[in-house]
Amino acid sequence: MIPTVEWKEGTVRLLDQRLLPGRVEILECRDYQTVADAIRELRVRGAPAIGVAAAMGVALGAEAVQEAEFMPFQKAVLAICDELGATRPTAVNLFWALERMKGVLAENSHCSAFDLKRLLVEEALRIRQEDLAMNHSIGKHGASLIEDGQCILTHCNAGALATAGYGTALGVVRAAWEQGKKIHVYAEETRPVLQGARLTTWELMQDQIPVTLITDNMAGSLMREGVIHLCLVGADRIAANGDVANKIGTYTVAVLAKAHKIPFFVAAPSSTIDLATPSGDQIPIEQRPAHEVTSLNGGSPIAPKGVHVLNPAFDVTPADLVTAIITERGIFKPSELAATFRL
Ligand code: MRU
């Protein structure tokens, strides 16, 4: 699998996810503004991948800072963090990664700008490495929930493409598949940006994991027919009470799962858990441009010009619809998160 986000020879290399599956192209970012634009334009997307890209963006931006004294150097890097933090509001991994990068500065005020630049690169690489390790661990824990022969419904893309590699929800799928379980994934297309149709099917097909693409409005019918055994999605932010923000349409799947008595699992690393946000009501929901809804994949219009459009990128699934949350530290009920992760 081609890496989603990479640091190579002083540049940030992103697999351009806007072009998939038609074209496999690497976007080479030589300045942090290009990284910020790539996050905003969904060239790199998925909560953990956004965090890794932003951390690398900070390291890249810092490389170009000319200040030699600590205070002006820190001021310049904090301004870069602010710009990267203004790209997308919902995925908390972005802010978590930026805080880690700011922490490097705060803890090393005695260092030269030369050394700080090196330390920032090292921290960004560490964040990437840790994300990969967490995903393998999520996969190991989550695979225990999947039985041989089961069919799994997923929404959006919570795979290798959305992370530093392996994936969260799709990491669980991968781990179950690697254990020899004969499973089948039903991928919802995920209107309006089609992460399910374009990305989830693509990455599962790369690994020869059986996948069937369905439109978003087919899930209820499949559940009623008894085809789906469990639902498995990622998350952009999990509040302290276990409410889960994820791609718009996730809530609908959770309600349907409850109505059909099908388990609804969320897979996410601890970097997605935001104990400072008490409940889903306080999670900021990104509103995206109308053209994403009025055309399909940037193509010709599918709605009258000037029509009023709503385009929230995420929704909140209340904790009581979530069967369990799969993390790198194990599987927890939503109500157990705060106590477990506060420690
Ligand atoms: O708008 P996107 O494509 O960044 O949204 C991605 C999702 O909603 C994912 O499900 C979530 O970030 C989890 S990725 C491991």
pLDDT at 129 over 80: yes
pTM of full prediction above 0.85: yes
Indicate if 236 belongs to the active site: yes
List of E strands, the chain: 5-8, 11-15, 26-29, 151-154, 184-188, 211-214, 230-233, 237-239, 244-247, 264-267, 273-274, 314-317, 324-327, 330-332
Q: Are 131 and 269 in contact (CB under 8 A)?
A: yes
**Every domain range in the chain assigned CATH 3.40.50.10470:** 142-342
| Any atom of ligand 1 within 6 Å of the Cβ of 18 | no
pLDDT digits (tens, 9 = 90+) for 298-310: 899 999 999 999 9
| Any atom of ligand 1 within 6 Å of the Cβ of 187 | no
* Domain spanning 5-136, CATH architecture: Up-down Bundle (1.20)
Q: What's the average model confidence in pLDDT over 141-167?
A: 98
**Every domain range in the chain assigned CATH 1.20.120.420:** 5-136
Q: Is 109 exposed, middle or buried (0-12, 13-18, 19+ CB in 10 A)?
A: exposed
User: What CATH number was assigned to the domain covering residues 142-342?
Assistant: 3.40.50.10470
Provide the pLDDT for residue 343: 66
pLDDT digits (tens, 9 = 90+) for 235-286: 999 999 999 999 999 999 999 999 999 999 999 999 999 999 999 999 999 9
Give residue 295 CA to ligand 1 midpoint distance, Å: 21
Count of Cβ atoms closer than 10 Å to residue 208 Cβ = 8
Options 236, 243, 274, 315, the catalytic residue: 236
What values do phi and psi take at 190, rounded to 5?
A: 70, 70
Angle between helices 92-107 and 70-85 (to 10 degrees): 180
Residue to probe by mutation, ligand 1, list 244, 247, 316, most atoms within 8 Å of CB: 247
Q: How far apart are CA 197 and CA 188, in angstroms?
A: 7
- Given phi > 0 = left and psi -120 to 50 = alpha, else beta, which region is 219? alpha
